[in-house]
């Protein structure tokens, strides 16, 4: 079943038998190395398919005797509890069981693979995976025992590892690409089914639900597994490929239990699904507050930055004031805003009620955003090479022409970086603005805290982080776009 195929010692690619020159890297080959490869016949494939299915069905509800169920006196958990005579409530959860059982199992397989698998040392990712899996199993155990919040940490850790795995698979050529596509489809399918079909039930609570209710999920899961398996078996050539199948299946289980369920079935995404309309309304409110504040901050911050570059005396004072502004706690800042604005309001017409709500929020946020924008403008303008400015002046450019043609284009990327900081900070601070009635995603957090609905708090937090990440990515693109081409070029080596 195992055969050895010759590989080029340089580029590690396969060689035809008895070749003296590698046709990939066209180096002459003196000492040919070998890689162990499975030589599959259909019996082997059937065997593998069968064993994997057995493995998978450990986690399936219809597995004979409900292997992991507490009602089964022979289940490992009950045996364990008997042995150590412990009644540990947290172990009741099916999730925990899976974490405790699956992860070490996978770690062990990985360990075998890395240390016993011969040709595998050439690729880094099994090693990385070993580490990730060990870490994950340790952390998951700790987090599970510590409770809810930490479970989120584990979930994030897993989603990171999962994405990394997908990416690595993708790089591995056709096979990897196919399996990563399938995995992705699988995850999407699970999400879809859970959000829109099964909504509340989770198959871990097997004892409580009727199988018929979850058939959609299981079908999707099984079909995806089979697809992955078939695709992989068909293309599989080496040991690495084999382990990739195992990863794919194992990870789909881990990903499901750590990612899909807590996120989508009982967690904040369910909250989003239930409150879709409200989410968009508050998202829009949030963006509006930050956006208006940003426009105000840019419109004042950039000119102020330009001014203080030309008047060094003012620079110290302005930068000092804006750094003091930024140290005021946001809740206090909103507190200051209200009486000040109310006074203005009263003196003005007394009916528009600008003392509370969006106006103080916007004013406070633009004050916060001033520092990064003013400071970056100042630093950027200062750091323009004095020689270029002198050349421009000497050629008879007016201050304004110098500013428009030279200083601002050269400073744009740094100013934009300041804007990015301001936006990300603004999105975070705007959360507090919900307390003074400005609305926004912070509302979910504040209401959630008042009513102790964790999902609401977490949903608000996630929405704001996503908003911040998306805004940052978008602004990074803008930064790249605004940077003059001449600055992006790497300096020629002289």
Partner 1 sequence: MGTMLSLQKVTKIYPGAGHIKAVDELSFDLEEGEICTLVGPSGCGKTTAMKMINRLISITSGKIIIDGKDISRLNTIELRRSIGYVIQNIGLFPNMTIGENIAIIPKLLKWDRAKIDEKVQRLLEIVNLDPDEYKDRYPKELSGGQQQRIGVARGMAGDPPIMLMDEPFGAIDPINREHLQNEFLKIQEKVKKTIVFVTHDIDEAIKMGDKICLLRDGHLVQFASPEEMLTHPKNDFVADFAGGDRTLKRLNLFTVKRAMKDNPPIINQDETIETARNLFSEINTRYLIAVNSEGRLTGMIDKQDIPGKALLVKDAVAPTNAWLTSQSSLKDGLSEIFSHDYGFLIVVDDAKKVLGWLHTEDIKETLKG
Kindly list the residues in this chain that would bind partner 1 in the complex (CB under 8 A).
385, 387-398, 401, 405-406, 409-410, 484-487, 489-492, 494
Taking CA atoms, 213 is separated from 69, 194, 197, 205, 219, in Å, by 19, 11, 9, 12, 12
Could you tell me which residues are beta bridge partners of residue 28?
21
Q: Which among 117, 110, 114 is positioned nearest to 239, based on CA atoms?
A: 117
Residue 397 or 478 with smaller CB distance to partner 1: 397
Cβ proximity to partner 1, 118 vs 390, nearer residue: 390
Closest CB to partner 1 among residues 4, 310: 310
Extract long-range pairs of 231-237: CB within 8 Å, 24+ residues apart.
Answer: 231/175, 231/178, 231/179, 231/182, 232/175, 232/178, 232/179, 233/40, 233/45, 233/48, 233/49, 235/174, 235/175, 235/178, 236/38, 236/40, 236/175, 237/37, 237/38
* Nearer CB in complex with partner 1: 352/493: 493
327 or 485: whose CB is closer to partner 1? 485
Tell me the closest approach of the beta carbon of residue 310 to partner 1, in angstroms. 16
User: Shortest Cβ distance from residue 399 to partner 1 (Å)?
Assistant: 10
In sign, the C-alpha dihedral spanning 346, 348, 350, 353 is negative
DSSP β-ladder status, 33-38 and 2-7: antiparallel
Q: How far is the CB of 389 from partner 1 (least distance, A)?
A: 8
Kindly tell me which of 1 and 489 has the beta carbon lying closer to partner 1.
489
Tell me the closest approach of the beta carbon of residue 315 to partner 1, in angstroms: 20
Nearer to partner 1, 326 or 410 (CB): 410
Residue 390 or 480 having the CB closest to partner 1: 390
Of 277 and 490, which CB lies nearer to partner 1 in the complex structure? 490
Distance of closest approach, residue 414 Cβ to partner 1, in angstroms: 13
Q: How near is the Cβ of 406 to partner 1 at its closest, in Å?
A: 6
- Minimal distance, residue 488 CB to partner 1, in Å: 9
Which of residues 51 and 401 has its CB atom nearest to partner 1 in the complex? 401
Write a three-state SS string for the chain: CEEEEEECCCCCCECCCCCCECCCCCCECCCCEEEEEECCCHHHHHHHHHHHHHHHHCCCCCCCCCCCCCCCCCCHHHHHHHHHCCCCHHHHCHHHHHHHHHHHHHHHHHHHHHHHCCHHHHCCHHHHHHHHHHHHHHHHHHHHHHCHHHHHHHHHHHHHHHHHHHHHHHHCCHHHHHHHHHHHHHHHHHHHHHHHHHCCCCCCCHHHCCHHHHHHHHHHHHHHHHHHHHHHHHHCCCHHHHHHHHHHHHHHHHHHHHHHHHHHHCCHHHHHHHCHHHHHHHHHHHHHHHHHHHHHHHHHHHHHHHHHHHCHHHHHHHHHHHHHHHHCCHHHHHHHHHHHHHHHHHHHCCCCCCCCCHHHHHHHHHHHHHHHHHHHHHHHHHCCCHHHHHHHHHCCCCHHHHHHHHHHHHHHHHHHHHHHHHHHHHHHHCCHHHHHCCCCCHHHHHHHHHCCCHHHHHHHHHHHHHHHHHHHHHHHHHHHHHCCHHHHCCCCCC
| Residue closer to partner 1 (CB basis): 340 or 391 | 391
Whole-number minimum distance, CB 421 to partner 1, in Å?
23
Taking the least distance from each CB to partner 1, the nearer of 166 and 384 is 384
Q: CB of 157: closest distance to partner 1 in angstroms? A: 42
């Amino acid at each position: 079943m195992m055969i050895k195929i010759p590989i080029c010692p340089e580029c590690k690619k396969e060689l035809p038998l008895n070749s003296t020159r590698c046709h990939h890297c066209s180096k002459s080959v003196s000492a040919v190395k070998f890689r162990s490869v499975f030589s599959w016949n259909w019996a082997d494939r059937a065997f593998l398919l069968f064993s994997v299915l057995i493995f998978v069905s450990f986690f399936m509800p219809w597995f004979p005797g409900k292997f992991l169920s507490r009602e089964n006196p022979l289940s490992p958990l009950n045996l364990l509890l008997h042995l150590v005579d412990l009644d540990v409530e947290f172990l009741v959860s099916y999730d925990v069981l899976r974490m405790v059982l699956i992860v070490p199992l996978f770690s062990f397989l990985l360990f075998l693979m890395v240390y016993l698998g011969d040709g595998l040392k050439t690729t880094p990712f099994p090693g990385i995976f070993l580490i990730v899996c060990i870490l994950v199993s340790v952390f998951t155990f700790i987090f599970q025992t510590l409770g809810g919040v930490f479970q989120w940490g584990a979930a994030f850790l897993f989603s990171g590892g999962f994405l990394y795995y997908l990416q690595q698979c993708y790089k591995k050529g056709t096979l990897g690409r196919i399996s990563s596509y399938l995995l992705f489809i699988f995850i999407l399918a699970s999400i879809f089914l859970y959000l829109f079909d099964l909504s509340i039930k989770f198959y871990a609570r097997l004892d409580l639900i009727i199988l018929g209710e979850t058939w959609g999920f299981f079908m999707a899961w099984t079909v995806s597994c089979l697809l992955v398996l078939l695709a992989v078996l068909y293309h599989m050539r080496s040991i690495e490929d084999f382990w990739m199948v195992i990863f794919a299946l194992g990870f789909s289980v881990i990903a499901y239990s750590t990612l899909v369920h807590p996120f989508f079935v009982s967690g904040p995404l369910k909250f989003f699904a239930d409150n879709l309309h409200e989410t968009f309304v508050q998202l829009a409110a949030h963006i509006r507050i930050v956006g208006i504040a940003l426009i105000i901050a840019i419109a004042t911050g950039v000119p102020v930055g330009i001014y203080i570059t030309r008047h060094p005396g003012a620079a110290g004072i302005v930068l000092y004031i804006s750094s003091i502004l930024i140290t005021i706690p946001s809740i206090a800042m909103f507190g200051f805003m209200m009486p000040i604005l109310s006074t203005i309001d009263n003196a003005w017409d007394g009916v528009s009620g600008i003392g509370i709500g969006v106006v103080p929020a916007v004013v406070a946020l633009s004050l916060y955003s001033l520092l990064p924008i003013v400071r970056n403008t100042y630093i950027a303008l200062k750091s323009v090479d004095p020689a270029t400015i002198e050349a421009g002046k000497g050629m008879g450019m007016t201050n304004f022409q110098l500013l428009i043609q030279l200083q601002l284009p050269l400073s744009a990327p740094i100013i934009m970086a300041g804007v990015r900081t301001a936006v990300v900070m603004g999105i975070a601070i705007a959360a507090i603005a919900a307390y003074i009635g400005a609305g926004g995603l912070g509302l979910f957090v504040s209401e959630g805290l008042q009513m102790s609905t964790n999902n609401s708090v977490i949903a608000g937090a996630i929405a704001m982080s996503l908003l911040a990440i998306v805004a940052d990515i978008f602004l990074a693109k803008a930064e790249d776009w605004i940077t003059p081409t001449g600055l992006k070029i790497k300096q020629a080596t002289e």
